[in-house]
């Protein structure tokens, strides 16, 4: 009986965390470059049940496995391309990343699904590489973002909307004189002066071949703990990545789907709550009525 009580309680905790994840998505529905977060759930470590017939030399017979509830294991970002909208502001930049990979077996481009992954017949999972702007994080380490809502301050530093310095292709902060109206930025992130046409810098763009290895660090930034495992590298000539000046990438949050998930989490929470109340009444009867016999 107590096992069922704990199972229902774990379900309530899981649905609460699922609810928190969805509300986070809804709160960032208008945040440029925000990637929708999905909650991943799994069962508790499964318990092996053995049946013994009482004979001294008998061997245990496995009759199955029993799950004792679920837990919210992690929340992962859906690193897919968001809609790009024109803002006509020269301080805004959007990344359009549609990097293709060839299937070693067929030589054809891998057909990634809507979540940016492909599962082969043998179970191998391949993720679509994604491009990110490189910026300086609060801790001094390199951070990565798709939020191109930049601004040029009085000191000539190109900053994100949260005040992080935008890094160039050389790994140093981008510094410019004047305003962004004095510069053009091409599709590869090359910054040129409007009056002379000479190159004055390049916006740093990093391609991550395993975006699932990235973790959120706040302020719309991602960080990479192991660059080798994440496959982080500089932008290459063959990468289908385009920088668009005067545009912003929107969030990938689906408002309608988020409301459905929010309602489903609430209903599941209420169902587990009813189960807890049922077990509570059953225990009350056990203690107050059966205990007196």
In this predicted model, what pLDDT tens digit does every residue of 58-85 receive, in sequence order?
455 555 555 667 777 677 788 888 899 9
Going by pLDDT thresholds of 50, 70 and 90, the confidence category of residue 55 is: very low
At residue 50, does pLDDT exceed 70?
no
Going by pLDDT thresholds of 50, 70 and 90, the confidence category of residue 285 is: confident
Going by pLDDT thresholds of 50, 70 and 90, the confidence category of residue 166 is: very high
Query: Tens of pLDDT along 137-159?
Result: 877 789 999 999 999 988 889 99
In this prediction, residue 9 carries a pLDDT of 82
Looking at the DSSP bridge assignments, the partners of residue 144 are 134, 222
Query: Tens of pLDDT along 224-249?
Result: 888 888 888 988 888 899 999 999 99
In this prediction, residue 282 carries a pLDDT of 82
Under 8 Å between Cβ of 166 and 182: no
pTM across the whole model: 0.76
> Long-range CB contacts (< 8 A, 24+ apart) of 115-118?
115/78, 115/80, 116/78, 116/79, 116/80, 116/211
In this prediction, residue 54 carries a pLDDT of 43
- Per domain, the residue ranges of the chain are 2-53+60-77+265-292, 84-249
Going by pLDDT thresholds of 50, 70 and 90, the confidence category of residue 48 is: very low
In this prediction, residue 49 carries a pLDDT of 40
**Residue 161 backbone dihedrals phi, psi, to 5 degrees:** -65, -20
- C-alpha torsion angle, residues 75, 128, 160, 243 (rounded to 10): -160
């Amino acid at each position: 009986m107590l096992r069922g009580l704990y199972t229902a309680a774990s379900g309530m905790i899981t649905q609460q965390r699922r609810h928190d994840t969805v509300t986070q998505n809804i709160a960032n529905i208008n945040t440029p470059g925000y990637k929708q977060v999905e909650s991943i759930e799994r069962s508790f470590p499964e318990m092996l049940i053995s049946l013994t017939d009482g004979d001294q030399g008998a061997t245990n017979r496995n009759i199955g496995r029993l799950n004792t509830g679920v837990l919210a294991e992690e929340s992962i970002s859906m690193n897919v391309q968001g809609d790009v909208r024109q803002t006509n502001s020269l301080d805004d930049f959007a990344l359009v990343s549609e990097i293709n990979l060839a299937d070693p077996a067929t030589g054809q481009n891998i057909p990634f699904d809507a979540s940016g992954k492909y599962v082969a017949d043998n179970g191998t999972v391949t993720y679509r590489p994604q491009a990110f702007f490189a910026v300086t994080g609060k801790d001094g380490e390199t951070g990565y973002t798709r939020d191109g809502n930049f601004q040029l301050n009085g000191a000539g530093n190109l900053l994100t909307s949260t005040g992080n310095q935008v890094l160039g292709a050389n790994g140093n902060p981008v510094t410019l004189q004047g305003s962004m109206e004095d510069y053009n930025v091409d599709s590869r992130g090359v910054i040129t002066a409007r009056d002379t046409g000479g190159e004055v810098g390049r916006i740093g763009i990093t391609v991550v071949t395993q975006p699932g290895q990235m973790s959120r660090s706040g302020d719309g930034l991602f960080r990479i703990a192991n660059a080798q495992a994440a496959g982080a590298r500089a932008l290459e000539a063959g990468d289908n990545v385009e920088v668009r000046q005067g545009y912003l990438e929107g969030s990938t949050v689906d408002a309608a789907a988020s409301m459905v998930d929010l309602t489903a989490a609430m209903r599941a929470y209420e169902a587990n709550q009813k189960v807890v109340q049922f077990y509570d009444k059953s225990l009350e009867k056990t203690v107050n009525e059966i205990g007196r016999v």
